[in-house]
Each structure stands twice: as C-alpha cells, then as structure tokens.
Amino acid sequence: MKFGNLLLLASAWLCLSVSAQAEDQHSYANLTQVSTPHLALDINVDFAKQVISGTATYQLQWKDPTADAIHMDTRELTIKDAQVWLNDHWQGTTFTLAEANPVLGSELTVALPKGAEKLKLQYQTAPTASGLQWLTPAQTAGKKNPFMFSQSQPIHARSWIPIQDTPALRLTYDAHVTTRDDLLVLMSASNDGAAEVDGDYQFEMPQPIPPYLIAIAAGDMKFKAIDNKVGVYAEPGMVDDAAWEFADTPKMIDAAESLYGPYRWGRYDLLILPPSFPFGGMENPRLSFITPTVVAGDRSLVNLIAHELAHSWSGNLVTNASWRDLWLNEGFTSYVENRIMEALYGKRRAVMEQVLGYQDLQRDMASLPAEDTVLNIELGQRNPDDVFSNVPYVKGQLFLMYLEDKFGRATFDKFLRNYFDSFAFQSITTQQFQDFLARELLNKHPGKVSMAKVNQWLHEPGLPEDAPHPTSDVFDKVAQQQRAWLKGASLNTADWTTHEWLYFINTLPQDLSTDNMRRLDDKFALTESKNAEIAHAWLLLGIKKGYEPVKTRLRSYLQHIGRNKLVVPLYQALAQTPDNLKLARQIYAQAKAGYHPLTQHKVEAVLHAKP
C-alpha cells in the first residue's frame, strides 16, 4: 500500500488559516480581521458531571492591523476567563458573550490589544452540548463503562470548544486530555493503538483542517490492526467482527491513491461507535467514526467505508468554504466512493449502488421544496443540520458522472487529480470550483459542455433532462423475479446481495397485500433480519401496509439504533396515522435517552409537527 508522505508544498502551508474568504452566514468569525491557525487544547472529560472543561489556546494571525477584537462561536459554553499573550507574558482581557441565537449560539467577543500573539480561554461545556453524546454503561455494548463521543459537523464544534466555527478556517491542533484512568481517549489526530490506558493522553494534528473535523471519543475501546497503517477501534466485544468486516480498507486506499494521488494523512483508522451514533459515518481525519449498523457480517455495506475514506481527498483535503457549498464535499465524495467500489468489486456492484442512490435522490426531491434541490443551495440562517439530504450527495455525484461521460474517463480523472492537488488543504467556494472547471476542463476541450449547462446543474432546481439515469441489468433480473412472484411464483434469492434485497423491497407495488407480505416473511424472515438496512426497508414497508407483525421488531429496532437515516423515516411513516403516531410517541419515550441530540431534534420535529 502506497501512503503519501506528510511533506506539503510550502504554498499550501501558507493557507493554514483561511484559504477562501467566503461569507459564512453560520459563523460570527471575523476571519478577514483575525484568524486562529493553531489550537492547543488542555481539557478534562468529566463523566460524572457530563462536561468537558479546561483551556483552549489559539495562535492569532492578524489580517487587519486596525482590529481590536476577535469574534468566535459558542453554544451553551461557560467562558470563565480570557487572557492574551503579549510582551512575553499572559495578561487578562475582557470579553462579552451575546444572547444566544437559536441556530448560531452565542457570539463571543474578546478584546485584543495590539500585538497580542495568542489567546487563551478557560471554559466549560454544558451537559446538553449539541455536539457531544454521553452514554451510560447500559447504553453501550459492554454494559460496564460509560462512553462519550463528539459530532462537530456542521456547526457543533462550538458546543464543546469556543472556536471560529466556519469551514473557511483551517487550523492545526494539539491536545492534552485527561479523564478516568480506566478509559481510552481518541481524537481526529495522532492515535496510538498500543497506548496505555491511564486517563492521560496527548494528541497532534499537523495538517490544517476545518473546525468541524475536530473530534473526540472516550470509553472502553480496544484496537485491532488490519495492516501497519490501518486498524479498528471498537468496544471489546465488536472489535474482531469489525476488523474482519473492513479488512479491505487498505485495498480501498490503494485504489483511491492510484486514481487521485497520495493519501496525505498518515494513518487511517476506524472507530466503531455505539449504535446511537446518528450518522453512517463521519470523516474525521485519521479516525473515521462509523456506525455499527454496517457491521453486517458479509461485507455488503462497506461502501460506507469507501465514502468516509474518499473524504480524505474530497472534504478533508479540499473543503467546502461554507455550508451552502456542501455539495463540494459530498458530491465529490459520493463520486470517488463509487469509483473505489468499482475498482475493488467491479462495475456490476458499483452500478447497483448508483441505482439505489438515484432512487434515494428521487424520493428526496419529491418531498423537498424546489429551492432545496439546488446544489449551491441558499441556506440563509437555516440550521444546516435541517437541509442535509441526498441532493448534495447524489445530485452532486450525477453531475460529476455527467462530466466524466462528456469528457471521457481518462480526461476527467486527470482533471480531478489536478483539482485535489491544486486546492490541497484549502477551503473553496462553488465559484472557485467553477472558475477552475472552466480554465482546466471546459476551455481546454471546447464544445463538449457549456458554462450554461454547468450553471443549470449547480444553480437550478431538480435534475437536467440529460442527467445520467443509472440502470442495472442485475436489478432488471430482480424486477423480472418480482413480477413473477406477484403472480404466485417462488423467488430464487440464493445469490442475492443486500443491494438486490433493497431494490426488491423498495420497488414492491403500492397495492401490495398484507397476505403477500406474510408470504415473504414466512419464507425469508425479513421482520427479524439482522441486516440493519434490509430490516429498515422491510419495517418501513410494513408500517405503510399496516402489517401488524412488524410492530414488535419495530420497538426493538428503534430502541437499539440511533442512525438518522434508519430511524427518522420510520417515525415519519408512523406519524401518518393517529394510532401509529401514538405508538411512535410511546416508542420514542423509551428510546430517547439513547438517541444523540441531533436525532432527538429530528424525531421530535416529526412527532410534534403542527397539523
């Protein structure tokens, strides 16, 4: 396996703090005046109080010599003290914490005397910090020790660190973290799989990253190496299964490097979190956070690992400068993910995953307002959590597939590699991408794609008429079997993968009878499926069809899984009838304590929506 070394071009390092001065409506940061290119954390993780406390010390980079303050983002933080490093010693300075905005949190303004080189803030989080989840021992697999993990994307870093919380900022960081002496702490930084568990840990992240990629976890975790650069952390009872499930990760890195250049982050490890983790994965550099719902026992859901790995190029290396540019992270990553899957597992599997993604996009676009189907979306000050959908992911991927088709794969691969190299360790806007696209692809190969067509993809709702529409001959065969089965024939599923089952269940006709559901269930035990994705699809269908046997499993499923993609649609389906809404509220009352705050927010919006 070829890993790129950590030597970076000097010009890239000059972009440590701000490489794109985009207006970010989701941050109070005054980056054009003062930015913070390096952070030093010295914090304690207190499980008894469910708080993090300590100091955050920032190197200051002055952009405007007339500036007299720095503006930072906080949410529910207590700021106890502020000091600046001036004339070779620390001295106190004044600060104000504004009234909280329901989306943005509280603006922190700290007075800066001329010539100040560093800023040190003493602070403490709230037990209700939106970017942290504290789990009791009973909410973990091992049942013996508590667990804590962060989720900083998109704007939750400010809930556990006072920070200029915008992806337009890039900063390096180091950290000293203490906690209970029987728990391991990991961060999105240098981790040592052989570290002694003693409650005292040091970390360093030498590459500049946006604040939303600062991550922390603490709990009873073990490490198992896959090779000398890749390994898995998980609770002790899961680490062996996870290491087996994701054994192809080194091959994924090889495939990505052959396409898009060196992996520039040193190690690539995976942390398998408890089931309450609200997402499939989070691409924290050096340590992707992963849901246990993809440990399926058959390596059928490893495209999620390919996705989080792909972020090492698209998202972590080249980053969206604001959340209205999210498609630059997720559309590129979905495209790269699929190319990795094709390289390792063949075009047949890659195309099946394209089709399933396309179906997900169609469902989302049917329910979203037109303005939310634009790639370069206008967010205003809406909470960016609420506008994540398949649009930036799959529509963005389809746009890049369209360009690949028009220019040819060899030409487009060369363009993408140039893109990642040219903007490495920078945060950019959609306009910067368009300028680069015009200069490096459109103008060099005239007559293939117009800028008017690019603008249609990026700035207009829906899909262009000539957008790619992936189809799979494998799914055509599934559809043939489905039609025959509906007429009474038996199904031959011996060689079906998760993908075929999902396609089969998701395309069953709207007038499917409960008798036919029972016929399927009796034969294949779908209600009790151990595959979280197949179970989700079947339970969702069961709710819509009023298939009573799913209700017992539904309770168990919703109380033991917290992944938004899997639980929120089930609550949405239950909320469609009064009786099921009552059931959903009962289930949620029991499940709430095990859900991440982000999941709680989404589910409560469904269960208590105004008619």
Is 277 annotated in a binding site? The answer is no
For residues 116 and 87, the answer to whether their CB atoms sit within 8 Å is: no
Take residue 295 and report the two structure tokens written for it: 């440990």
322 CB neighbour count, 10 Å cutoff: 23
Nearest to 306 by CA among 294, 317, 298, 293: 294
Nearest to 354 by CA among 374, 373, 337: 337
Written as one letter, the residue type at 453 is K
- Cα distance between residue 258 and residue 107, in whole Å: 44
Is 280 annotated in a binding site? The answer is yes
Nearest to 186 by CA among 212, 160, 223: 223
- Catalytic residues, which ones? 308, 393
Q: Which residue has the tokens 């060689």?
A: 495
SS3 call for 106:
strand
- Cα distance between residue 39 and residue 61, in whole Å: 12
Is 281 annotated in a binding site? The answer is yes
Is 564 annotated in a binding site? The answer is yes
Long-range contacts of 403-407 (CB under 8 A, 24+ apart): 403/441, 403/449, 405/468, 406/448, 406/449, 407/441, 407/445, 407/448, 407/449
Is 563 annotated in a binding site? The answer is yes
Q: Is 267 exposed, middle or buried (0-12, 13-18, 19+ CB in 10 A)?
A: middle
Is 431 annotated in a binding site? The answer is no
Rounded alpha-carbon distances, angstroms, from residue 65 to 23, 72, 115, 132, 320: 21, 18, 9, 36, 28
For residues 290 and 273, the answer to whether their CB atoms sit within 8 Å is: yes
Is 307 annotated in a binding site? The answer is yes
| C-alpha triplet 274, 279, 284: angle, nearest 5° | 85
For residues 215 and 187, the answer to whether their CB atoms sit within 8 Å is: yes
For residues 37 and 208, the answer to whether their CB atoms sit within 8 Å is: yes
Cβ partners under 8 Å of residue 167, min gap 6: 24, 210, 211, 212, 319, 320, 321, 322, 323, 427
Rounded alpha-carbon distances, angstroms, from residue 55 to 39, 166, 415, 526: 10, 20, 43, 51
Is 311 annotated in a binding site? The answer is yes
Is 153 annotated in a binding site? The answer is yes
Written as one letter, the residue type at 387 is V
Is 30 annotated in a binding site? The answer is no
Distance of CA 222 to the CA centre of its chain: 23
Is 282 annotated in a binding site? The answer is yes
Cα-atom radius of gyration of the chain, to the nearest Å? Answer: 24
For residues 416 and 354, the answer to whether their CB atoms sit within 8 Å is: no
Which amino acids are annotated as binding site, given as ranges?
A: 151-153, 278-283, 307, 311, 330, 563-565
Which amino acids are annotated as binding site for Zn(2+), given as ranges?
A: 307, 311, 330
Which amino acids are annotated as binding site for a peptide, given as ranges?
A: 151-153, 278-283, 563-565
